[in-house]
């Protein structure tokens, strides 16, 4: 069983079993954090880490949980309700191959 070293804000460096570490990764931007509970004092920690560190933790057997930004927070509520004018604009934009190709390219590049 892999052992990892983590730093507790209260106790300093501590050693944990990989079973005591979990990784949370955002589906949208793929950033993540790792979580552990200090075996000395019982404090729970959530720490930012590089993707390389998170990959190493996962490869060592840490549990992985994926999460998504709630859809409500991605919607621009300032736009108001969808109208026929919005649909007509959208329909016209779909007829423009260059515009569509450009928009799809942005998605692919992302
Ligand atoms: Zn501690």
pLDDT at 106 (0 to 100): 74
How far is the centre of ligand 1, averaged over its atoms, from the C-alpha of 3 (Å)?
A: 16
How far is the centre of ligand 1, averaged over its atoms, from the C-alpha of 27 (Å)?
A: 30
Please give the chain's pLDDT, 110 residues, in tens.
Answer: 889 999 999 999 999 999 999 999 999 888 999 999 999 999 999 999 999 999 999 999 999 999 998 887 877 778 788 899 999 999 998 999 988 888 888 776 65
Say if residues 9 and 37 touch (Cβ distance below 8 Å).
no
How far is the centre of ligand 1, averaged over its atoms, from the C-alpha of 94 (Å)?
A: 57
> Domain extents for the chain?
3-67, 82-109
**b/e map 73-105, b = 16+ CB within 10 Å:** eeeeeeeeeeeeeeeeeeeeeeeeeeeeeeeee
């Amino acid at each position: 069983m892999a052992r990892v070293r983590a730093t507790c804000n209260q106790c300093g460096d501590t050693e944990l079993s990989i079973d005591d570490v979990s990784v949370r990764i955002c589906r949208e931007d793929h950033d993540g954090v790792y979580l552990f509970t200090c075996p000395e004092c019982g404090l729970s920690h959530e720490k930012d880490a590089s993707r390389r560190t998170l990959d190493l933790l996962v490869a060592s057997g840490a549990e992985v949980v994926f999460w998504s930004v709630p859809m409500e927070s991605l919607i621009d509520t300032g736009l108001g309700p969808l109208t026929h004018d919005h649909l007509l604009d959208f329909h016209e934009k779909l007829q423009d191959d260059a515009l569509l190709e450009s928009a799809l390219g942005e998605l692919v590049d992302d």
